[in-house]
Structure 1
Amino acid sequence: MLLLGIITLVMTIPLASTYLSTILIHRIAFLVLLFSGLLTYNTLYVTPLSSGIGILGGLFQTTLLSHSLEIFILILGSIILLITPSDEKIKDLNKTTTNMFNYWDNLVSNSVKKFLPIVKNNTQLIDYPLIVLFTTLGMISLISSSDLIIMFLSIETQSFALYILATMNRNSESAVAAGLKYFLLGGLSSCFILLGSSLIYSYTGLTNFESLNILQSVIGQSFEENSYNYLAIGTLILTIGLLFKIGAAPLHSWAPDVYDGVPTIVTTWLTIMPKLSILIFFIMNNFLIDSNLLMISALLSLLLGSITGLAQYKIKRLLAYSTISHVGLILLALSYDTINGLESTLFYITQYSITSLNIFLILILLGNTLDKNSITSIYSPIQYISQLRGKFYYNPALSIAFSLSLFSMSGIPPLIGFFGKYFVINTALMNGNYFLSLVIVITSVISTVYYLQIIKTLFLPDTNNNTISISGSNNLSPILVYIVAILTLFIIFFMIYPTPILNSIHMIATTQYYC
């Protein structure tokens, strides 16, 4: 269904771009993702999924885990696609941009202006949902890939679409610079992945994951000793390339610059979606991953993400370092090849994705309260933490939801983020790793400092009176407001009825671990 939707949009947009509105293209892509998720859900209870189903001669393998997370990815992607401007705003975009520049002249320095887009037409916005479908196709293909060649092609399908997304605002100097940096460093990481895959193939003569796994399990320790010069190094290099893709330390330097430079809607996608597919690939094919390297990267990610975030004054750069810290927690849980490690990984990925999506949705909605004639929600004007000052007095509901989401990120009980960190710490303690458990506690306390900084700014009065009155919130999308309300309630009240999620994760983890 997803591939059919891409083909349809590829044929439709060039032929009818004059007659089709941007909002209609976005809604079509939204329906494609939603219907794809529904079709996937309808096949979720097929019995052979428990042991896996090979597709296309073993190039792809579908399991209960990959099927479930594919549904999760499609739902998240469809929600992000709901963030779209109206046609009226697109028509008046140049005029409102000029007004926004005049507004910003009285608010902040000229350095902020480079973040405001000057869009001459809506071509970029029409192409945006098509690119999103392409990167989603790459993500789903990567999750189900069962061959080194398909793995690489899926990663490149995902990555090249992301490079285009990063440079979607071609009139912004910061977005183009961020996209170029993302492209160059992403190409470097692809070289590592290709080199590691080549070394594995040169020694074993195999590209199929199942065959590689069987070969490793049959030969055992002698296999590891004899193959050290090729297989072990190939696995190590492959892991480095994949860690580069998800922005884990010490391969994280590109992430804050890219997340800060691109439009906020693209930052939302980059922060959540690409990481999901690669982390799920780690889970599905842990025999290809160097667990020691995962643990080292987890430790560095926890330290660098928490400590470096203290010095940030831009909101998206701070959230980028926060993401690095959370990736460290996921990698730590992944490094333990136990069912508890798998369960804590799946739960943390789920709660992090939901909370992070809620934070960025609220950030975009709060940006629209700057002015009743705010330019499209895709380009949130909020770039600095100081711009959040006084937001509580102009939109209390969104500000409280934002604060609760940040508290969840920091692991404050009884919010869902607390349980995510608890499960990871419990897994580390059960495996006798007391040092990393202590590091998680310390870094969580440190990261709470910069989360509290944001919350404090929200509730401080705006002495400059730069924020427009609460009437500016009338242009907020009702659909997005409802989604924020649902996600916030889920974050708050998870503790009251956690059974469905925990039981589902336990069932999926049990099926994956023992089959």
Structure 2
Amino acid sequence: MNLLTSTTIYFTLFSGTMITLFSSHWLLIWIGLEMSLLAIIPILVNKPNPRSIEAASKYFLIQATASMILMMAAIINFYKTGEWSISNIINHLSSFMLTMALSMKMGLAPFHLWVPEVTQGIPLISGLILLTWQKIAPISVMFQIAPSINYTLITIMALMSILLGGWGGLNQTQLRKILAYSSIAHMGWMMAIISFDPTLSILNLLIYIMLTINMFILLYHNKKTSTLSLSNSWNKSPLLVSIILVVLMSLGGLPPLTGFAPKWMIIKELISNNNIILPTSMAIMALLNLYFYMRLIYSTSLTLFPSPNNTKIKWQFENTKISPLMSTIVIISTMFLPLTPTLSILH
């Protein structure tokens, strides 16, 4: 892909998300989502091979179906209300269809099965864009229609996402699939609180994006995509593997790391709304995610690596990849928990 083509594609991707983010008209929101969809397809097949083409085809079919449902919901709402404003949703059918369409776009359960398959079939950088930037537009729409969302429906879907996001990652050995199931579980946490406090969903999204960017940059820098290859790199770059493991614990929400902050604030907000069973269930199901993170940590750093000879340290080749922001992102991903009281006051 030459410079002009890649610039056009990434500009279209950025513009589509921005149009959706700042629009209150259903047609503009739909146009922005379609621009993002059409722009990311060439990014997914940047290195054409059967797996990436299959992943891009699955992604396109799912997202096109979701866009069709969203447009139908907007038309029904226009028919009932006479206006295209996003803030005026009084029809229950429109609200239901919008929730389904946006859930398909976000990868929320039970519409989550495409997320690990698509993420596994594409390169790391494409997977990074898919699991971070592509979540912003649908969540911004959910943020705007939060008062009109059916609370029971979105809560059931959120609980299913947390459960299946943890359960699905238990038997995975591919790091991209593990991050995909982690994304599903984090979407569940965001949707569980959106009916009570939408700003907490945005805070959770920002922290999730920071942690996921950090993980993908570390894996790209280390050139590892599976548990086995990551375990073999312990004797080659132990510091980098150690950072990956700390970021994984933060992604799992283990205190005193940054990833604990959104879970802490969400549980606190749910309890303050006299909702005890929901946060208790969410905290218990989050242990599934923490379990496969800890299992990954155990298999990569707490066990002896396979070695064909008595040499314990491999030859240190110079790494040609430049990551100037890695240290900054690692610090943000692991040491921001003390700022939680400040965020709570601002919120």
Would you call these one fold, judging by a TM-score over 0.5? Answer: yes
CA separation of 1:184 and 1:317: change in aligned 2, threshold 3 A: same
Q: Partners in 2 of 1:125 and 1:248 — Cα distance?
A: 35
Within-5 A mapping of 1:30-429: 123=1, 127-170=5-48, 172-210=49-87, 212=88, 231-336=91-196, 341-367=197-223, 382-429=224-271
Q: Partners in 2 of 1:275 and 1:391 — Cα distance?
A: 31
> Is contact 1:178–1:258 with CA below 8 Å preserved after alignment?
yes
Could you say what secondary structure the match of 1:357 adopts?
helix
Equivalent AA in structure 2 for residue 166 of structure 1: L
Deviations 1:162-192 (A, max 9, x none): 222212222x110011001111111111111
Q: Partners in 2 of 1:125 and 1:173 — Cα distance?
A: 24
Which 5+ residue runs of structure 1 have no aligned equivalent? 1-122, 217-223, 225-230, 368-381, 507-515
Q: Partners in 1 of 2:160 and 2:75 — Cα distance?
A: 28
Superposition deviation, residue 360 in structure 1: 0.5
Q: Partners in 2 of 1:489 and 1:383 — Cα distance?
A: 23
Q: Partners in 1 of 2:169 and 2:267 — Cα distance?
A: 22
CA separation of 1:293 and 1:472: change in aligned 2, threshold 3 A: farther
Superposition deviation, residue 292 in structure 1: 2.8
Could you say which residue in structure 1 is the equivalent of 2:305? 462
Q: Partners in 1 of 2:77 and 2:52 — Cα distance?
A: 37
Q: Partners in 2 of 1:355 and 1:465 — Cα distance?
A: 35
Q: Partners in 2 of 1:468 and 1:144 — Cα distance?
A: 53
CA separation of 1:294 and 1:154: change in aligned 2, threshold 3 A: same
> Is contact 1:404–1:488 with CA below 8 Å preserved after alignment?
no
Could you say what secondary structure the match of 1:146 adopts?
coil
CA separation of 1:470 and 1:426: change in aligned 2, threshold 3 A: farther
Equivalent AA in structure 2 for residue 362 of structure 1: L
Superposition deviation, residue 148 in structure 1: 0.9
Q: Partners in 1 of 2:36 and 2:148 — Cα distance?
A: 20
Superposition deviation, residue 289 in structure 1: 3.3
> Is contact 2:214–2:333 with CA below 8 Å preserved after alignment?
no
Could you say which residue in structure 2 is the equivalent of 1:57? none
> Is contact 1:142–1:154 with CA below 8 Å preserved after alignment?
yes
Superposition deviation, residue 468 in structure 1: 9.5
Equivalent AA in structure 1 for residue 57 of structure 2: L
Deviations 1:444-478 (A, max 9, x none): 2111111012222331443145999453342121x
Could you say which residue in structure 2 is the equivalent of 1:489? 331
Equivalent AA in structure 2 for residue 352 of structure 1: Y
Equivalent AA in structure 2 for residue 335 of structure 1: S
Percent sequence identity over matched residues? 23
Q: Partners in 1 of 2:293 and 2:220 — Cα distance?
A: 18
The number of residues matched between the two structures is 344
Q: Max radius of gyration: which structure? A: 1
Equivalent AA in structure 2 for residue 321 of structure 1: Y
Q: Give me the CA root mean square deviation.
A: 2.2
Q: Partners in 2 of 1:125 and 1:318 — Cα distance?
A: 32
Could you say what secondary structure the match of 2:10 adopts?
helix
Superposition deviation, residue 124 in structure 1: 6.0
Which 5+ residue runs of structure 2 have no aligned equivalent? none
Q: Partners in 2 of 1:276 and 1:428 — Cα distance?
A: 23
Give the TM-score of the pair, scaled to structure 2.
0.92
Could you say what secondary structure the match of 1:412 adopts?
coil
Equivalent AA in structure 2 for residue 132 of structure 1: Y
Superposition deviation, residue 493 in structure 1: 2.2
Q: Partners in 2 of 1:387 and 1:349 — Cα distance?
A: 29
